[in-house]
Structure 1
């Protein structure tokens, strides 16, 4: 079956063999939050009870047939998921309505919104795209409904300005978003043995009194999101001197062999995930797990023929009566993943109907979804193989500590202890520290002009550069609290071989390795370029010039935003006439702004700012390494140049001047 793009009002029949649907609501802007929800509606057009409303405050229906699975980031933005088990829906349910809503802004601010309905294998059955929303706060994307014994999908596209609360009320949900009243001072609790007792009235006569049960007022569904609270780690203030050291939760003392490294790192990771549930959710989401309570286990034994298979760990997540399971294979230090071992785990997972085999090592994939080891594709028919790096684990922990919503000080301390342990050299869990064994040879070949596109060593360096570029994006994500992306053209982002060949071609032609990073709300993309021929790291960004005023005024506008930028920043002014492009260092422009614009007649269109720094020569290790020079150059450029830079905003249009008419 093809995956048709539906238009508003169109419907299609779903295949008869489909029993489970994965509904995905997605949008492009990762800074905005859209919340998916579902309503189980009877033939009367309303829910049977409030339990038929599935959303973030009520994540599953009473029969667990419909489940809210939460949100996750994608390369294109963000998404929310809802699962529907068609065979588990009660007979009186006529349709399941799929909606999306936002508390923070109108849906018109999101731009393009998408609804995708997939079957249990991940194949897309239907998709509905819309950009018609304006001031609405909630939107019914579509509905899965019964018709003549079959299930069908209809694209709806109807909006509600009253938001999720108004939408839910219109489908019969009892909504109560008022804050609960604290009436404890008005309540008197008494204990009675019987429902009929005797009491004395005002005249002293004995009378019979009936005790009636009074039920508390029933509250409706609360659609408002709970407000997260930020916690700080415990402070140690009673030390008797500077030499007093606090006890560490995960000690690096006595760490010996690689096997012991793996066991300690795995145990520390799983223990922290069990104690800090938001961290467990972040790690498990990378493996495709649903939201739900997490449990982790170490070195569980499984039989495979006459031998035993012992994964380093097992992740389990429960959701609506079902259990998602991943077998974990861990490597630390220079340990490498092995095809045969992963295939054994895939066989075990398939036999036990587990969901995923997850590998964890110091290998950083060049892009999300890439695997450091390729396995026989027939092993992946029923089980997924996923990979994350220790670097990604560390970034997730730092992201949660700096920008998450941890409300428990003890959780903050535990997660901080994990980061401290994993970043210690003895843990065996490293971030990106080595350009690989071919780096020096390829670098010297570029300098000598002897590198050719057919050199297989250059392809290895290209893949390592792509991995470093992704590491830079992950690192900035953890530091800034926003999803920074390594931006690639679509055809290169989906084809690793083509991407690496493209990197090598550019390296041969220009002597440069280049990557583009996209930071949400930044004035422009950041380009990081390593020039092997000049031994320079160059970070640059471009920003549009104002569209009104003279070229001098436009240059002055930029100069005001670069008050704290280093004097050696190169400022390039690009004019409509390409022959009039000018470039000066910032010190010269500060002394004479006209140095950029003098003698230019055509319109000044945009500026490019470039920061050149010295390139490290060593492949790994010390402060003189290539990787350190790249990260330091990027950090300084973002801090001093990009972060203070704001795009030009035109003034509001002037209204007509008042005119006084003579009599």
Structure 2
């Protein structure tokens, strides 16, 4: 589509009761990002109330008509996703504006490949719209859905706002109280958001939208909102809370209370015991029943897991060991999920595997056929494996000729653990009972005997590839190298889930590739590089971190390197920067390598922290006219040899390496002053 064009959704698909909107972008660094938002508008083009504004602080509508599904990496950047249940949309909502905004002073002109894609719940693309001319805008209305004669249509808008998310919200009739936000943060003893932070705050942008390339309108500071209001009868009441466009402050959980046990041999009673499980069949049955039961009892958790699969928001019931007719012998999927909304049923069959048990394509194919014949919507596979590119696992055929299409989805146990952890430790749930249930679920999933530990095997190609690199006999084009690259990518995605769950922040792998590049060709090229230099490399972007985390596994030397490049302080002199950095790393490991990054030169002064502590000046170049662009911090660790998840395995060594670097190096650095985005030091 082009800007200004419109199309009826019923012209694109037979069923348009629900759609998923994908907002995508990319950047040269692969790190820049933005956030999606949705506004429900009446016939006058204004929200009916502040609750009609859905963004990162208000991601879900109570009736399930809107849900922000979160981000995921793509081959050329990132995308943010929104689920819209158009059949559940209130009757007085005439338009649905789909927008996105950037953090602080960042603008969309720094991004490329801005695009909006609308798909049906099965993932089939219905339309796409690109924005090629973004400039100073900090917020964009990409497009809008609107009713016309009882039909839903879509219009490509591409309307930019230099005033950011707050200005966009105000333009559609929302009261945004940024002064109150700053006051609250100050009262809590935390930092007040600044122009450089990931907060659209500090000034209320002009209300008028701007076209791409237009000058930024003047901005003004809002007046502080009153803490109370006086009614006509003279009664004083608290002022209504207004939407905050500043992101919520995330705090890590408090230290657990001291146990009342007499000694460490005592074990707490658990709702879901795992120690008695004896074989994989028992583990699969127990894990399926535990997960599905918690999904029904904790609605926030159940909705979070099923929304991405196209399920509506409604009353959920789950079942296990259901027998369904299929030819001569009935089929018994491990579980069934049913969601009822407005008299309509959404049904998904669930096939579960634990430990290293692989999904069998023929079994999943049978469930897809059963679902198609019975009019079910989805088949969900659940195992320790991690799907690449968000697709299903295994070679299963979907009959596109059928009027009723079944969607095949895959979910990793690591993703289940991540979502439970995000809710219980960072975002909160409805009540204490829900929190306790999720805590019990987390304990079960992490138990050594549960079999639900996520990705835990580098595959049969791991040892031959390692030996081939050691003996220099691994050749370009070897398919085993491609398999190792795919396993490495799965491992890094799980590292992101683990790290993001612990920190309560988004953690995504960085992929520096061109838009629409072929994933298979990209992995083949990485496999050739592995054959040539014997290294596996990955970058991880964590929201709020001072830089990008780089992980390198050198199969020739058997070493793991975790590193991060950070910018120098905004003010002061080079010697001051070096002294401040060494002081901040006072508790870091003595074997931490510190290297000075110099403009136009491949290498700068470097040394271990142990050697540099008494002489920080050794980090400075001898030539005074060479500009310091930053510092590179690196930790090295021996690499595990085996392909599995054992203590001495490669996977465990990667986890340990990342955990050690983050806790001992990154955490102290998060308190250091950060430079402005113009200096190339902003994290996105």
TM-score by length of 1: 0.76
Among 322, 332, 339, the residue aligned to 2:344:
322
Shift of residue 338, structure 1, vs aligned partner: 1.3
Q: Distance in 2 between matches of 1:151 and 1:406?
A: 36
The answer as to 2:80 corresponding to 1:78 is yes
Among 638, 642, 654, the residue aligned to 2:662:
638
The answer as to 2:589 corresponding to 1:566 is yes
Among 364, 369, 373, the residue aligned to 2:394:
373
- Name the residue aligned to 1:475: 498
Q: Distance in 1 between matches of 2:585 and 2:250?
A: 36
Shift of residue 234, structure 1, vs aligned partner: 11
After superposition, give the CA deviation of every residue in 1:79-112 in whole Å (9 maximum; x if it has no partner): 33324359x997xx8943426599x998987887
Among 336, 341, 347, the residue aligned to 2:358:
336
- Name the residue aligned to 2:95: 96
Shift of residue 309, structure 1, vs aligned partner: 1.6
Among 147, 151, 167, the residue aligned to 2:172:
167
- More divergent stretch after superposition (319-328 vs 481-490): 319-328
Shift of residue 237, structure 1, vs aligned partner: 7.5
1:204-603 alignment runs, 5 A limit:
245-365=267-387, 367-378=388-399, 382-491=405-514, 495-546=518-569, 550-578=573-601, 581-600=604-623, 601-603=625-627
Contact 1:69 1:291 in 2 (8 A): no
- Name the residue aligned to 2:194: none
Q: Distance in 2 between matches of 1:234 and 1:580?
A: 45
1:159-198 alignment runs, 5 A limit:
167=172
How large is the Cα RMSD of the aligned pairs?
4.6
Among 13, 21, 24, the residue aligned to 1:24:
21
How many pairs does the alignment contain? 593
- 1:492 and 1:531, CA in 2 relative to 1: closer, same or farther beyond 3 A? farther
Q: Distance in 1 between matches of 2:121 and 2:616?
A: 62
Q: Distance in 2 between matches of 1:504 and 1:135?
A: 39
Q: Distance in 1 between matches of 2:121 and 2:412?
A: 28
Shift of residue 249, structure 1, vs aligned partner: 0.9
Contact 2:144 2:154 in 1 (8 A): no
Shift of residue 603, structure 1, vs aligned partner: 1.8
Shift of residue 474, structure 1, vs aligned partner: 1.2
Shift of residue 245, structure 1, vs aligned partner: 4.1
Shift of residue 589, structure 1, vs aligned partner: 2.4
Shift of residue 440, structure 1, vs aligned partner: 2.4
Specify the SS of the correspondent of 1:363. Answer: coil
Specify the SS of the correspondent of 1:477. Answer: helix
After superposition, give the CA deviation of every residue in 1:270-310 in whole Å (9 maximum; x if it has no partner): 11111222221232234343444322111222212333122
Shift of residue 254, structure 1, vs aligned partner: 3.5
- Name the residue aligned to 2:8: 14
Specify the SS of the correspondent of 2:11. Answer: coil
Shift of residue 587, structure 1, vs aligned partner: 2.3
Structure 1: 5+ residue stretches without partners: 171-176, 184-220, 653-663
After superposition, give the CA deviation of every residue in 1:533-575 in whole Å (9 maximum; x if it has no partner): 2221111111233577654344334333322222222222232
Q: Distance in 1 between matches of 2:256 and 2:622?
A: 63
After superposition, give the CA deviation of every residue in 1:352-381 in whole Å (9 maximum; x if it has no partner): 22221111112223x341333111253696
- 1:319 and 1:477, CA in 2 relative to 1: closer, same or farther beyond 3 A? farther
- 1:131 and 1:362, CA in 2 relative to 1: closer, same or farther beyond 3 A? same
Q: Distance in 2 between matches of 1:228 and 1:571?
A: 31
Contact 2:371 2:378 in 1 (8 A): yes
Among 119, 126, 129, the residue aligned to 1:127:
129
The answer as to 2:675 corresponding to 1:649 is yes
Contact 2:567 2:675 in 1 (8 A): no
Shift of residue 487, structure 1, vs aligned partner: 1.4
After superposition, give the CA deviation of every residue in 1:295-335 in whole Å (9 maximum; x if it has no partner): 21112222123331221111123344433221101112232
- More divergent stretch after superposition (50-59 vs 418-427): 50-59
Q: Distance in 2 between matches of 1:581 and 1:292?
A: 59
Q: Distance in 1 between matches of 2:121 and 2:652?
A: 45
Among 593, 613, 620, the residue aligned to 2:637:
613
Shift of residue 143, structure 1, vs aligned partner: 4.9
Shift of residue 150, structure 1, vs aligned partner: 9.6
- Name the residue aligned to 2:235: none
Specify the SS of the correspondent of 1:262. Answer: helix
Q: Distance in 2 between matches of 1:611 and 1:51?
A: 48
- More divergent stretch after superposition (393-402 vs 110-119): 110-119
Contact 1:442 1:451 in 2 (8 A): yes
Contact 1:482 1:520 in 2 (8 A): yes
- Name the residue aligned to 1:211: none
- Name the residue aligned to 1:214: none
Specify the SS of the correspondent of 1:436. Answer: coil
Q: Distance in 2 between matches of 1:427 and 1:276?
A: 21
Q: Distance in 2 between matches of 1:84 and 1:462?
A: 41
Q: Distance in 2 between matches of 1:229 and 1:517?
A: 20
Specify the SS of the correspondent of 1:427. Answer: coil
Specify the SS of the correspondent of 2:86. Answer: strand
- More divergent stretch after superposition (262-271 vs 117-126): 117-126
Between structure 1 and structure 2, the one with the greater Rg is: 1
Q: Distance in 2 between matches of 1:355 and 1:17?
A: 22
Specify the SS of the correspondent of 2:435. Answer: helix
Q: Distance in 1 between matches of 2:663 and 2:151?
A: 61
The higher-RCO structure (CA 8 Å, 6+ apart) is: 2
